[in-house]
Structure 1
Amino acid sequence: MTSSAPRRTVLAAVLAAAAGAAAPPLAAAAGAPARRSVPPPPAPTARTKSPVDYHAWTAAADWHHGTADGTRVVAAARPGIALARPAGTTVYRDPHTNKTATWEYATWTSPVHRLPVPATEAVASWNAHTPAGTWIAVELRGTYSDGSRTPWYVMGRWTAGDGESDIRRTSVDDQKDGRSAVSTDTFAVDDPSSGLRLAAYQLRVTLHRRPGSTDTPTVWRLGAMASDLPDRFEVPASAPGLVGRELQVPRYSQEIHKGQYPQYDNGGEAWCSPTSSQMIIEHWGRRPTKQQLSWVDPSYADPQVCHAARYTFDYQYEGCGNWPFNAAYAATYRDLQAVVTRLSSLTDVERLVHAGIPVITSQSFLKTELDGAGYGTAGHLMTVIGFTPSGDVIANDPASPDDPAVRRVYNRRQFENIWLRTKRHDDKGQVKSGSGGVCYLYFPVRVSAVQRGALAAVGVR
């Protein structure tokens, strides 16, 4: 991505436009709304190999095929891995609290996943339960197309909490090997024009807990999206297909939180990502408990949005727009799964919405490029909840003055282009990057056959 910058600035930029080398491993390293009967969408047509590959380890067989050092497979309705016995101990100095502590750890390393189309970028994402005093580190090691390998790159250090016994969830800066680098949450080849590509990769997750504790993180899903997208300012237009359905999704404005809890990315005007995440979490019938929201000022409306901002906050990036952290936050809710991937067109979104799955999209645009938005942005998240009979996009846009104004209808062609393109011009005429179709998909562990088919059609299982 070249696109790490666009979604980072979020609505702070919206308003401005509108008015260690890889750290070594730490150790020697249902509640869904009632559904009406929906006919299945047509089967996808055959196509050439996609430039986007999402692959995950999530089934019991997947976990058994990896290399475990101290982890065990949890055989349950939702299979995962947990810390069974310490493989060793490590000392971690938290750069955000300056606290140094000793941790027991265990690791699980995936098999090598060879990419059908060698990639220039990769974004990992995960679903995990991390009780107080536990955390995980997710790393990626790639094999280049010339056969050499990257170091183990840290793709995130994650815990759901931020209490006295917890580390602070964080990305890791300054990871590079002279051929590739990690920008917050995105691995990228430095010079795609050289022909160098990521041909394969492994993921490693390290589970941590306090020495002597019996608590353990549990990881249910571990995966990555890898892609090789061409540089393009314009993308082909898709023809409307499965249109005319609108999902009932709660509407939350980030703007009503302006100035609230500025320690989390300067307050609500930069909270598009967690606000979008919270809308979809609640679409599936999940929400924070009254006790979980007890820290929020009772005079604030929609306290769950404040909660989402706090618990997606990346202490290194100093923002709430870390893509995998938003997915990991969504997956802390009962039986929810979450992935970060890329889609190829609004046809993919139509298929998902038709099946009852809303889509959170990332886009950058000038004020003149999206009619009706009323702002421009270097990076913004919103949720696609439906399509008009003519195929235009119905979106819950959190960059709205209040909750009732959140539902918007955007021109299909304009929306598709600003979301899928990889290059754009800013208001000074300078070339900047676009997200290339990045999206978050949140869905329950148990989905219908139609939903399972829609997910499979976009490469998610």
Structure 2
Amino acid sequence: MKKYLLIQLVLLLTLTVLAGLLSSGVLAATAPRVLYRTHVQNDGWQDFVSDGALSGTAGRSLRLEGIEIKLEAADYDLGVRYQTHIQNIGWEADTDRGFKNDGAMSGTEGLSYRLEAIQISLTGAAADAFDVYYQVHAQNFGWLGWAKNGESAGTAGYSYRLEGIHIVILPKGSSPPTGTVDQLTPFVERQSVPGNLLIQTTASDFNSNALGLDRVAIVSDAGDGAIVLNNGNQAGVYTSNVFNTSPFTKAVLSWNADTPAGSLVQVEARVCENAVDANGQSTENWSDWLSWGRWGSSINRASGIGTTDSPLAKLDVDTLVVKNGKTANKIQYRVILHSGSPGITPNLRLVALALRNQNPGQEITKVFYDTPNLFNLPVLNVPQLSQMVRDPAIADSICSPTSVTMMLAYYGTVVQPETAAWGAYDYGYQDFGNWPFNTAYAASLGYQAYVDYSTIEGLKREIVGGHPVAVAVAYKNSAAVSGNLPVIDGAPIRQTPGHLIVVCGFTQENGTDYIIINDPAAASNAGVRVKYRLDQFAAAWAESGNIAYIIH
């Protein structure tokens, strides 16, 4: 019995030491070999290569049409599973073709269909001990960054061909061996969105988070940095890396762009949920690229242009909505730049991403980086403008641009509400209230502006900084009014399912907290300045999703 226990103890210690060596990389040399070959346009099947070597071509503009991947892993319970995104077919797992395993061909032979993207993951009991990394050479993009463990590598949605691939397996937590492959940049783990807001506005932001630059460049001489068309090109695409996020149900992208006559930008995003397939394997389920439409100062800007619906998510005018009660936890954006004339380019200066999880108990915590004094808050002297005294043909529909106009006037830029209204008008939705179109209009006048899902603390921080905030509310002005809307006593209109107002400050009277508002629905300019009970305002703001326009 003692001898049996001693053998067990030795075996346990040996396994523990081996596991430690494996996780530390000491046994990296014993990692399983991965072998792979590709079917290349005009060339046919190449020979198998292994462990980071190039399969396919780079610089010859030849498409990959098929791939086979297998392991030499006799000492491990380990397999490999993969699928490709194929021209005219899409992701194989979405068809009866299904995932491929351990040397089976993924793709086609004899059809001349290009591979556009690939996902590779490990299977078996030892899968958690290793990472599989893969890097593809894509048409118009060149070598993309490394993907790993089931992530998508390539350009699904662009219809661009894959031309070459590197694959390597390493102990868990390792980075790809930069000295053995011809990647342009070393592997960088995906960045995470802090809290619910991501802002990309500097040349460094755009450079460090770029996945692809197709006929565009990043310059530092426009604002803090901008994305522009390369000289002579009239169309180009900037594609961001994928960002990890807290689980979210809604997302709003907003942007700042200078768009000379004849130029425009089209902002798109796609989102991903982590799903589990029928075999219990984790897989990424991506939506299509969804479009916020086309924006430009001199065009009939419009939402509803481009793809706006896919099985996972849809674009509801200005808001990306994840369908069927699901949540997404990854997002990627791209910006398409157009110009009507060579030598003229739009300048994209900012992209902001605001996230919201509307499921009870799953709200995303907002992240702040300082601790300002939020007591004894000022009341900002924001000019008072009523939408109701403006052009009668549109007066009852321009709360959003009128609120923007009041904020601009506070900063010293005087425009008429009608001017702002037609400058932000959505010719697709035929409405003045498109959120990112309104902030894009403010940005076109030289400001930094974006849409946020904020909090009462976030509003107070803006006021402390000397910045009014436009917010969306839904209310009725008395409990006696029918309907299930929150009550704001004394509001200027009977009820509204969606309305923009301007937060100007906070105050307290007789132990009750109030928020100072410029409400453009007042019948006159003099009546615009009002105060609402803070608790009633908070309920009315939450009813509209806590949307805010931040303009600096």
CA contact (8 A) 1:364 1:435 kept: yes
| Residues 167, 405 of structure 1: alpha-carbon distance in 2 compared, 3 angstrom cutoff | closer
**Which of these residues, 106, 122, 143, is aligned with residue 272 of structure 2?**
143
CA contact (8 A) 2:388 2:395 kept: yes
**Which of these residues, 239, 242, 245, is aligned with residue 109 of structure 1?**
239
CA contact (8 A) 1:328 1:338 kept: yes
Identity of aligned residues (%): 30
**Which of these residues, 99, 124, 128, is aligned with residue 257 of structure 2?**
128
- Aligned residue pairs: how many? 332
SS at match of 1:352: helix
Q: Match of 1:82? A: 228
Per-residue deviation, residues 70-120 of structure 1 (Å, max 9, x unmatched): 111121252111111466xxxxxxxxxxxxxxxx301111111110x1111
Q: Match of 1:277? A: 404
Q: Match of 2:178? A: none
CA contact (8 A) 2:377 2:463 kept: no
Per-residue deviation, residues 113-134 of structure 1 (Å, max 9, x unmatched): 110x111111100000001110
Question: Does 2:216 align with 1:71?
Answer: yes
Per-residue deviation, residues 315-340 of structure 1 (Å, max 9, x unmatched): 11110100000010010112x10110
Q: Report the Cα distance in structure 2 between the residues aligned to 1:377 and 1:440, rounded to whole angstroms.
A: 19
Q: Match of 1:415? A: 537
Per-residue deviation, residues 398-448 of structure 1 (Å, max 9, x unmatched): 00111111100111110011112xxxxxxxxxxxxx3221111001xxxxx
Task: State the shift of 1:247 in Å.
Answer: 0.5
| Residues 312, 171 of structure 1: alpha-carbon distance in 2 compared, 3 angstrom cutoff | farther
Question: Does 2:445 align with 1:333?
Answer: yes
Q: Report the Cα distance in structure 2 between the residues aligned to 1:170 and 1:229, rounded to whole angstroms.
A: 24
Question: Does 2:329 align with 1:199?
Answer: yes
Unaligned runs of 5+ in 1: 1-23, 29-48, 88-103, 233-239, 289-303, 421-433, 444-461
Question: Does 2:317 align with 1:184?
Answer: yes
Task: State the shift of 1:366 in Å.
Answer: 2.0
Question: Does 2:471 align with 1:349?
Answer: no
Partner letter of residue 547 of structure 2?
Answer: V
Per-residue deviation, residues 258-309 of structure 1 (Å, max 9, x unmatched): 52xx4xxxx0111000000111112112234xxxxxxxxxxxxxxx111001
Greater strand content:
2
Q: Match of 1:153? A: 290
Q: Match of 2:80? A: none
Using the size of structure 2 for normalisation, the TM-score is 0.57
| Residues 398, 153 of structure 1: alpha-carbon distance in 2 compared, 3 angstrom cutoff | same
| Residues 86, 119 of structure 1: alpha-carbon distance in 2 compared, 3 angstrom cutoff | farther
CA contact (8 A) 1:243 1:386 kept: no
Unaligned runs of 5+ in 2: 1-155, 161-191, 276-283, 362-372, 479-486
Task: State the shift of 1:389 in Å.
Answer: 3.4
Q: Match of 1:373? A: 491
| Residues 26, 250 of structure 1: alpha-carbon distance in 2 compared, 3 angstrom cutoff | farther
CA contact (8 A) 1:51 1:228 kept: no
Partner letter of residue 426 of structure 2?
Answer: D
Q: Report the Cα distance in structure 1 between the residues aligned to 2:490 and 2:468, rounded to whole angstroms.
A: 21
Moved over 6 A (4+): 24-28
SS at match of 1:230: coil
Q: Match of 2:303? A: 170
Using the size of structure 1 for normalisation, the TM-score is 0.68
| Residues 130, 332 of structure 1: alpha-carbon distance in 2 compared, 3 angstrom cutoff | same
Q: Match of 2:375? A: 242
Q: Report the Cα distance in structure 1 between the residues aligned to 2:338 and 2:300, rounded to whole angstroms.
A: 10
CA contact (8 A) 1:314 1:325 kept: yes
Partner letter of residue 343 of structure 1?
Answer: S
CA contact (8 A) 1:51 1:227 kept: no
Q: Report the Cα distance in structure 2 between the residues aligned to 1:174 and 1:64, rounded to whole angstroms.
A: 27
Q: Report the Cα distance in structure 2 between the residues aligned to 1:395 and 1:306, rounded to whole angstroms.
A: 21
The worse-fitting range, judged by mean Cα deviation, of 369-378 and 122-131 is: 369-378
Task: State the shift of 1:27 in Å.
Answer: 9.6
**Which of these residues, 195, 199, 209, is aligned with residue 56 of structure 1?**
199
Q: Report the Cα distance in structure 1 between the residues aligned to 2:420 and 2:290, rounded to whole angstroms.
A: 27
SS at match of 1:145: strand
CA contact (8 A) 1:52 1:342 kept: no
Q: Report the Cα distance in structure 2 between the residues aligned to 1:170 and 1:189, rounded to whole angstroms.
A: 18
CA RMSD of aligned residues (A): 2.4
Q: Match of 2:431? A: 319
Show the 5 A alignment for 1:379-394: 379-390=498-509, 391-394=513-516
Partner letter of residue 110 of structure 1?
Answer: S
Q: Report the Cα distance in structure 2 between the residues aligned to 1:382 and 1:439, rounded to whole angstroms.
A: 10
SS at match of 2:321: strand
